[in-house]
Structure 1
Amino acid sequence: MKNNTLVEVKGLQKFYDGKKSLFLPSKKITAVKDVSFSILKGETFGLIGESGSGKTTVGRMILRLIEPTNGSIVYNGESLRDLSKKDMAALRKDIQIVFQDSGSAFNPRKTIGEQIAHGLQKFGGNKDAQYIHKEVLKMLEVVGLRSDYFHRYPHELSGGQRQRAGIARALILKPKFLVLDEPVSALDVSVKAQIINLLINLQKEFDLTYLFIAHNLDLVAYFCDRVAVLSKGEVIETASTKDLFRNPKHEMTNKLLSSILTLEGDLGQVYKKRTVI
């Protein structure tokens, strides 16, 4: 692995057993057929593709939230598939995820502060309650939420506020790598702009590396340094964002770029004008 490579995925596959029949053998369902790419330290790497192409499955396999069938995942020189559950749990401090659905990502019965604090309580070295409380308040401020949000429940927050809280929960252990799984797809245009600009600022502040899984091409064009295109569980093209959008090489990439039209054509301009408060 090159020194500036943080994540390297090779030949990643995921098969599921189909429904069994009395007369026919069960067929394997292919979710991810053969995926290889690398992510450089400090970059935002985009993963795009049509619905059902396997984008989210790839992201969750990298985190080992889903176990791969075959292939290798190397993080910072360490093979994740060779780690025990205990060692993988310890590595959770470095690798985190921001989920698409901020509503279902939180336990409705616990306060936002309690849920952000959970990572520190489980994996942090300092178990002192006062220290943890202060760290959570600091992180709330970092993502643009007031200290009183500590005691609020998820249903009391808007979608954008919950996503800020989700980012705070992911960052509380000071990770190096974040998987962003369609983190703004459920938000309206202006809130998307705020969250994307927040992520850009946080990347600079905390020296973060992102895997950005998305279907919104306006976002990808604005946010990502390089992009891999996934089709039917395979990477068909990888390029810098500029090259991919200006000169796509693969027929499927051309179809994807021409067929996925958004209602937010001026979204990039919205982002450029926005600042995070």
Structure 2
Amino acid sequence: MQNESLLDVQGLTKVYGNKGSLFVPRKEMLAVNNVSFSIKKGETFGLIGESGSGKTTIGRMVLRLIEATAGDIQYEGKSILSMKKGEMDKLRSEMQIIFQDSGSAFNPRKTIGEQILHPLNKFHSNSDAGYQYNKVIEMLDVVGLRADFYHRYPHELSGGQRQRAGIARALIVKPKFLVLDEPVSALDVSVKAQIINLLIDLQKEFQLTYLFIAHNLDLVAYFCDKVAVLSKGELIETAPTIELFRKPKHEVTQKLLSSILTLDGDLGEYYRKQSAI
């Protein structure tokens, strides 16, 4: 793993609210408050916290799927919040997302192959049809799906298979950075383990950097190099995973970690066994 930062988040803040009117008072909600962290190249950085703590909001702000109210986000030393649309569009091929709900992430009226191909058409539209088809087949193989999945529709796939297809769709444009927004929370235990181990293998193969948003702390302990804890929109603690799980400093972190028994049990061995099922 390199020491160079890929992503630097500084004072990130998001306020939601209406503009108000003569009859409706202005109302604001502070969703994320002055959050700062850095993610190194090749690292898996975990964001954990109770429901509504701002995890998903941060993930979407990092990709500019929603706009920040204040703060800065630097990607490889360049501020993405100051980028114009054309600059941001060029960057999007390097920054992709895997969604939590693989069912709603796909158009039910289009085949899996067509939808994996879509980002390639968007970002590399000059490639010919033969190349594009072969690239989709290649990516299906990379994520453990057969070539005939190209012609299947989303409802014909299991949840785990759809999530593999979602990973293929993200990887086809050769990104450097992936936001993993609770990518296995809707899957059963054995399939979770298979997908997590696939993501670990892909990270090594393609030199990927991950922002992993999760509530499953066993997975975070196994998967992440560093963890940040959020509470009510504020970042309260950041540390290497082993250090944070064994010696949590903040009482909110201690309460979150009380939901798992111990880190001494070999979580890695558990997930390796599950992935073989």
TM-score of the superposition, structure 2-length normalised?
0.93
Partner of 1:181: 181
Identity %: 73
Paired letter, 1:68: A
Aligned CA RMSD, in angstroms, stands at 2.0
State yes or no: 1:251 paired with 2:260: no
Partner Cα separation in structure 2 for residue 167 and residue 238 of structure 1: 27
* CA displacement at 1:86 relative to structure 2: 1.5
Partner of 1:74: 74
State yes or no: 1:207 paired with 2:207: yes
What secondary structure, in the 3-state scheme, does the structure 2 residue paired with 1:82 have? coil
Instruction: Report the CA distance shift for 1:57/1:223 in structure 2 as closer, same or farther (over 3 A).
Output: same
Partner Cα separation in structure 2 for residue 62 and residue 142 of structure 1: 27
Matches of residues 131-146 of structure 1 in structure 2 within 5 Å? 131-146=131-146
Partner of 1:218: 218
* CA displacement at 1:198 relative to structure 2: 0.2
Matches of residues 23-172 of structure 1 in structure 2 within 5 Å? 25-124=25-124, 126-172=126-172
Partner Cα separation in structure 2 for residue 201 and residue 139 of structure 1: 14
* CA displacement at 1:266 relative to structure 2: 8.0
* CA displacement at 1:244 relative to structure 2: 0.4
* CA displacement at 1:21 relative to structure 2: 7.4
Partner Cα separation in structure 2 for residue 198 and residue 118 of structure 1: 22
* CA displacement at 1:23 relative to structure 2: 6.1
CA deviation vs aligned residue, 1:80-129 (integer Å, no higher than 9, x gap): 00111111111111100000000000000000000000111110154201
Partner of 2:191: 191
- Which deviates further from its counterpart, 197-206 or 21-30? 21-30
Paired letter, 1:36: S
* CA displacement at 1:273 relative to structure 2: 2.3
Instruction: Report the CA distance shift for 1:276/1:18 in structure 2 as closer, same or farther (over 3 A).
Output: farther
Count of paired positions: 273
The answer to whether the Cα contact below 8 Å between 1:54 and 1:233 also exists between their aligned partners in 2 is yes
Partner Cα separation in structure 2 for residue 252 and residue 274 of structure 1: 30
The answer to whether the Cα contact below 8 Å between 1:17 and 1:27 also exists between their aligned partners in 2 is yes
CA deviation vs aligned residue, 1:105-161 (integer Å, no higher than 9, x gap): 000000000000011111015420110000000000000000000000000000000
- Which deviates further from its counterpart, 19-28 or 58-67? 19-28
Partner of 2:240: 240
Q: Point out 4+ residue stretches in structure 1 off by more than 2 angstroms.
A: 18-25, 265-270, 272-277
Instruction: Report the CA distance shift for 1:3/1:221 in structure 2 as closer, same or farther (over 3 A).
Output: closer
* CA displacement at 1:272 relative to structure 2: 2.3
Paired letter, 2:214: A
* CA displacement at 1:44 relative to structure 2: 0.3
What secondary structure, in the 3-state scheme, does the structure 2 residue paired with 1:93 have? helix
Paired letter, 1:12: L
The answer to whether the Cα contact below 8 Å between 2:13 and 2:69 also exists between their aligned partners in 1 is yes
The answer to whether the Cα contact below 8 Å between 1:224 and 1:241 also exists between their aligned partners in 2 is yes
Instruction: Report the CA distance shift for 1:140/1:35 in structure 2 as closer, same or farther (over 3 A).
Output: same
- Which deviates further from its counterpart, 152-161 or 83-92? 83-92
- Which deviates further from its counterpart, 26-35 or 57-66? 26-35
CA deviation vs aligned residue, 1:138-193 (integer Å, no higher than 9, x gap): 00000000000000000000000000000000000010000000000000000000
Q: Which sections of structure 2, spanning at least 5 residues, go unmatched? A: none
Partner Cα separation in structure 2 for residue 276 and residue 266 of structure 1: 16
TM-score of the superposition, structure 1-length normalised?
0.93
Instruction: Report the CA distance shift for 1:188/1:167 in structure 2 as closer, same or farther (over 3 A).
Output: same
What secondary structure, in the 3-state scheme, does the structure 2 residue paired with 1:53 have? coil
Q: Which sections of structure 1, spanning at least 5 residues, go unmatched? A: none
- Which deviates further from its counterpart, 15-24 or 215-224? 15-24
The answer to whether the Cα contact below 8 Å between 1:218 and 1:268 also exists between their aligned partners in 2 is no
The answer to whether the Cα contact below 8 Å between 1:189 and 1:267 also exists between their aligned partners in 2 is no
What secondary structure, in the 3-state scheme, does the structure 2 residue paired with 1:81 have? coil
Partner Cα separation in structure 1 for residue 267 and residue 138 of structure 2: 31
Paired letter, 1:156: E
